[in-house]
Each structure stands twice: as structure tokens, then as C-alpha cells.
Amino acid sequence: MKRSEINMILQAAGAFFRRHHVALPAFARQSPADLRASEWTEIKARGLGWDVTDYGMGNFAGLGLVLVTLRNGSGTRDDGMVYAEKLMMLRRDQICPMHCHQRKTEDIINRAGGTLVVELFASDTAGRRDAGAPVRVMCDGILRELPAGGRLKLKPGESVTLRPGDWHAFWAEGSDCLLGEVSSVNDDVSDNRFDPDLPRFATVEEDAPPWRLLVSDYDRALP
């Protein structure tokens, strides 16, 4: 993705969150010029901040997602923070591709907008997508069973709990969706498994200065 495209997407995402009366923390509102590396030690270590991805496919409008990680346990020391939280902007008909997590349990919550469609598969004994087995998930305290490839349709206010090994893809129908995620500690570097195999982060072409840093920029920009 070109940095200029990412800048425009982030500006649109900020406006989208404001329209839905969602206020973001300071680290999501600071320009790179305003950052002080010493103050960002824990922000960098926990992977807090913006993420824009096209999963390496070069078609963000069709296959992509904007995320902001708001809080996250360190995953490396006992600080008592065993949870994470994200906000997401999912455009109408934009797909987050089929994947599962090896360790993370998460609730995906449709906070506002259109209908969130979630396609689901269970894992077989090798951890691959099982094309024949039913899948069981919790939706707002109610256990639901769907056939392999079954699709949940979640209206605003509704959610699904996904456990490690629950394969899922999702997209927005009717209108853009404001999504929330509440989960155990998040590790986007090593805990995602895609089918078919895809890179988790976008490759960035630096055709413009960054308007906001992405989490994937931190190692370079905040040594």
C-alpha cells in the first residue's frame, strides 16, 4: 500500500469514529513529529495504536481492515493485564479474510452501522479448517451451532465469542460497521493463521510522510 493511501484511510477512520462519538486516546491522535520515544516504550511494547492492512493483496476496498489497539497485556511479564481491546472500521462489503488464532479468545462486537456477517468453520485435529464438522460459538450468552461455513448475521449490539481454532471471516452488509474487539492478550505478529496463507501486515511504499504511525512502523521509527 502507498503511504499516501494509508494517510487518507486513517483520516477517514478518524472521522468515522468521531461520527459515532468514539474518542480515541492521545497515542492515536499524535503526529510522528510529536512523539517522544521515551514516552512510547510501553505503547510500542504492547502494540498499541493504528493498523491498516490489505493482507498483501493490493485491494484494500475489497480485502482489508482498519484497527486501533487501545489496550493490551504485555504477554511477557505478570502485570495483571490479561486482556486486550480494539476498535475497527469495516467498510461495506469489505472482507476480513478467513483466519483463526492459536491462543487468543476474542469477542467481536458490532457496535454500530450495518450488519456484520461472520462465516465460521471448526478446526480439525491438525488445526486446519474442517469442511464437514459443525461449529459452536457463544453469541451474547446463547450457544449457537452452525454447519461448516455457516454465517452469523450480527446486528448492532450483537456479538460472537471466538475461541482459539475457530476459523472466521467477516464483512459488513448494508453499511459500514463500527466493530469492537475484547480479547485475551493480542499478538498480531505470531498468533494469526490464514487460509489461504496471507501476510498479516501491509507492505508500505513510502511515497509520502506518515500522517500517523502504524504499529508496524514502530521498530523503525521508535528504536
Closest-CA residue to 116 (of 147, 84, 91, 142): 91
The domain containing residue 162 runs over which residues? 3-221
Q: How many CA atoms lie within 13 A of 195 on its CB side?
A: 19
- Residues paired with 184 in a beta bridge: 83
Question: How many angstroms separate the CA atoms of 53 and 18, rounded?
Answer: 21
User: What tens-digit pLDDT sequence spans the chain (223 residues)?
Assistant: 999 999 999 999 999 999 999 999 999 999 998 888 788 999 999 999 999 999 999 999 999 999 999 999 986 656 788 999 999 999 999 999 999 999 999 999 999 999 999 999 999 999 999 999 999 999 999 999 999 999 999 999 999 999 999 999 999 999 999 999 999 999 999 999 999 999 999 999 999 999 999 999 999 988 7
DSSP, residue by residue, 155-175: -TT-EEEE-TT-EEEEEEEEE
Looking at the 3D structure of the chain, how many domains does it have? 1
Q: Give the 3-state secondary structure of residue 47.
A: coil
pTM of the predicted model as reported, rounded to 2 decimal places? 0.95
Q: What is the CATH number of the domain that holds 40?
A: 2.60.120.10
Tens digit of pLDDT for each residue in 43-81? 999 999 999 999 999 999 999 999 999 999 986 656 788
Q: Which 8-state DSSP code applies to residue 10?
A: H
Q: Are 110 and 103 in contact (CB under 8 A)?
A: no
Q: Which 8-state DSSP code applies to residue 92?
A: B
Q: Are 196 and 140 in contact (CB under 8 A)?
A: no
